[in-house]
Amino acid sequence: MQLLKQKVLDEGIVLSNRVLKVDSFLNHQMDPVLMKEVGREFTRRFAGEAVNRVLTIESSGIAPGIMTALELEVPMIFARKQKSLTLRDDIFVEKVYSFTKQETNEITVAKKFIQPGDRVLIIDDFLANGEAAFGLARIVEQAGATVAGIGIVIEKAFQPGGRLLKEAGYRVESLVRVAALDDGKVTFADQD
Ligand code: G4P
């Protein structure tokens, strides 16, 4: 997605050879015009997948998630992150480990919002090791629903998440794939 690549080049800050800061349009300040295009692009890519729910995770997944759900005219659910929970039978719970933050969160979704037979499109802002996406997919499967696809705004292709998700059989569509963050520069993987 050319518009997004240009935004990454213009405003992305390479913090290290593993971390790209994009807080001017995705992770803190958000660019609604760009997010609208992101929603349109995911909708175009997943047309034909009969999606009837979008699932994302708080907080930065919510903007691309809601714009995609708006375009698809389906509800969006965001998984909540919590430190630790007392046992409850009305929620799905999965553990998600973040290598970036070196912490484990429990992510939760109320059972009433995902039903058996649903076709759920998972959307997230970043894909690194795939922990968040796998956690969301496990929640969809716990519900007896189907993962219709996984849409990622920025994939760090030098980390294994994309490959692992594809090997697990999921359809992954990343709008921008970053091949490397060396010498303070963003290099994109060949595509488009
Ligand atoms: P994973 O889910 O693919 O395994 O990724 P990881 O645990 O490494 O990511 C943990 C958090 O860090 C996620 O946000 C993810 O979006 C974010 N992240 C990972 N790599 C980068 C990066 O290079 N740049 C930026 N800006 N973020 C990155 P989160 O904790 O869920 O935060 P938020 O959604 O509340 O903002």
Pocket of ligand 1 (CB under 6 A): 19-22, 27, 59-61, 98-101, 125-132, 156, 161
Judged on CB neighbours under 10 Å (0-12, 13-18, 19+), 171 is middle
What is the C-alpha separation between 53 and 147, in angstroms, rounded?
Answer: 10
Nearest to 103 by CA among 131, 125, 124, 122: 131
Contacts of 63 (CB under 8 A, 6+ apart): 26, 30, 32, 35, 125
**Residue 129, annotated as binding a ligand:** yes
Chain centroid to CA 166: how far?
14
**Residue 156, annotated as binding a ligand:** yes
Q: Which atom of ligand 1 is nearest to the CA of 81?
A: 31
pLDDT at 100: 81
**Ligand 1 pocket, mutate which of 126, 134, 164 (most atoms under 8 A from CB):** 126
Other CB atoms closer than 10 Å to residue 55's CB: what's the count?
30
Can you tell me the mean pLDDT for 124-143? 98
**Ligand 1 pocket, mutate which of 8, 11, 57, 98 (most atoms under 8 A from CB):** 98
pLDDT at 87: 73
pLDDT at 191: 58
Complete domains list, the chain, with CATH? 35-171 (3.40.50.2020)
**Amino acid in position 29:** Q
Distance 146 CA to ligand 1 centre (A): 24
Q: 66-81: per-residue pLDDT in tens?
A: 999 999 999 999 999 9
Instruction: Place 138 in a pLDDT band, splitting at 50, 70 and 90.
Output: very high
What is the C-alpha separation between 22 and 35, in angstroms, rounded?
Answer: 13
Instruction: Answer yes or no: are the C-beta atoms of 105 and 132 closer than 8 Å.
Output: no
192, pLDDT greater than 60: no
* Straight-line distance from the first to the last Cα atom of the chain, in angstroms, rounded to the nearest whole number: 7
